[in-house]
């Protein structure tokens, strides 16, 4: 990707380095000089015979044109305000063309007496030369305007880039680190900002559980009556029914020991023993079961 110019002069030089633009810049001033001399000399010849305002005005325009051409030759690569002066010269040539056209080409009105002894053929040719000069200076003014806009745009973009570079000075460039596969280490969090570890969260919950040995001891009750209830406090409870056959590892009188095999959560117990039926029905109240 080509590097964009960051200054006014760099942008102008970048455009002038193109062959077509360089040819235009060298060829148009030559044509302006040739046609300005042809028109100015034609009016100067008539001015020596007839001192009229239009001929004097033509010499003023001719003099300003020569001065502008010399200025362009001196400041060949500077376009900051050149388009303003070239636009003024362009308007002056247009005004001269309009005035002379009304005098020498308007057939609806008779020729004024002060122009009766002029060379009409020379004046008509000079009028068309004025039109050519207007077109040449119009194109030159448009070219200078384009160059000025391009240079100004590059200047603004360069200053904006410089300001942004000053703001980001001293900060790591994460985009370049990502491209190279290197990332800066994450900043260390304070104790208040860190999330608690799993052990820190799990230990309080484990502390609230009944130990397995303690659960067996507490729930190993013989001859459980229907009114005897062991329960666990908590926001939620799940009631489940489990049937343990008579040939289980524990006796029917110690059916409550089976609560410990369900889980390590807080357990509540309510049950009775039906020896005649050959089975033990245990209702488990589970609260905070994991």
- pLDDT value for 188: 62
Beta-strand runs (E) in the chain: 229-230, 238-244, 266-274, 279-287
pLDDT at position 258 over 50:
no
> 62 is written with which tokens?
């001719």
Look at residue 153 and give its three-state secondary structure.
helix
- What is the chain's length? 290
pLDDT digits (tens, 9 = 90+) for 155-167: 788 778 777 777 7
Element (H, E) at 195: none
In which order are the strands placed within the sheet that holds 229-230?
Answer: 229-230, 266-274, 279-287, 238-244
Residue 170 structure tokens: 């001293």
pLDDT single digits (tens) 174-232: 555 555 555 556 666 555 556 666 555 554 444 444 443 333 333 333 444 443 333 33
Q: ∠ CA(159), CA(162), CA(168), 5° rounding?
A: 145
Please state, in angstroms and as integers, the Cα–Cα distance from residue 243 to each residue in 40, 160, 182, 258, following that order: 123, 81, 62, 10
Phi and psi at residue 281, in whole multiples of 5°?
-100, 120
pLDDT one-digit tens code per residue, 122-147? 999 999 999 999 999 999 999 888 88
Distance CA 89, CA 62 (A): 9
Distance in angstroms (rounded) separating the CA atoms of residues 5 and 172: 26
């Amino acid at each position: 990707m080509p590097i964009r110019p960051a200054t006014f002069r760099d942008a102008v030089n970048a455009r002038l380095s193109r062959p077509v633009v360089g040819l235009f810049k060298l060829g148009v001033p030559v044509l302006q000089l040739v046609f300005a001399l042809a028109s100015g000399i034609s009016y100067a010849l008539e001015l020596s015979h007839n001192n009229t305002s239009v001929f004097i005005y033509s010499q003023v325009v001719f003099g300003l044109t020569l001065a502008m051409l010399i200025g362009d030759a001196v400041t060949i690569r500077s376009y900051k305000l050149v388009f303003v002066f070239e636009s003024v010269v362009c308007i002056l040539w247009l005004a001269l063309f309009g005035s002379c056209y009304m005098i020498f080409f308007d057939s609806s009105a008779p020729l004024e007496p002060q122009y009766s002894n002029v060379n009409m053929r020379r004046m008509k040719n000079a009028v068309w030369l004025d039109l050519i000069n207007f077109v040449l200076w119009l194109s030159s003014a448009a070219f200078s305007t384009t160059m000025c806009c391009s240079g100004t745009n590059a200047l603004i973009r360069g200053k904006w880039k410089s300001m942004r570079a000053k703001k980001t000075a001293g900060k790591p460039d994460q985009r370049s680190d990502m491209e190279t596969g290197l990332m800066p280490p994450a900043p260390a969090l304070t104790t208040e900002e860190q999330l608690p570890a799993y052990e820190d969260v799990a230990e309080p919950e484990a502390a609230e559980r009944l130990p397995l040995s303690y659960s067996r001891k507490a729930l190993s009750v013989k001859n459980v009556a229907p009114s005897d209830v062991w329960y666990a406090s908590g926001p939620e409870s799940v009631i489940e029914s489990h049937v343990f056959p008579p040939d289980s590892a524990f006796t029917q009188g110690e059916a409550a020991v089976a609560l410990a095999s369900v889980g390590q959560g807080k357990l509540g117990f309510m049950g009775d023993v039906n020896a005649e039926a050959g089975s033990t029905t245990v209702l488990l109240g589970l609260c905070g079961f994991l």
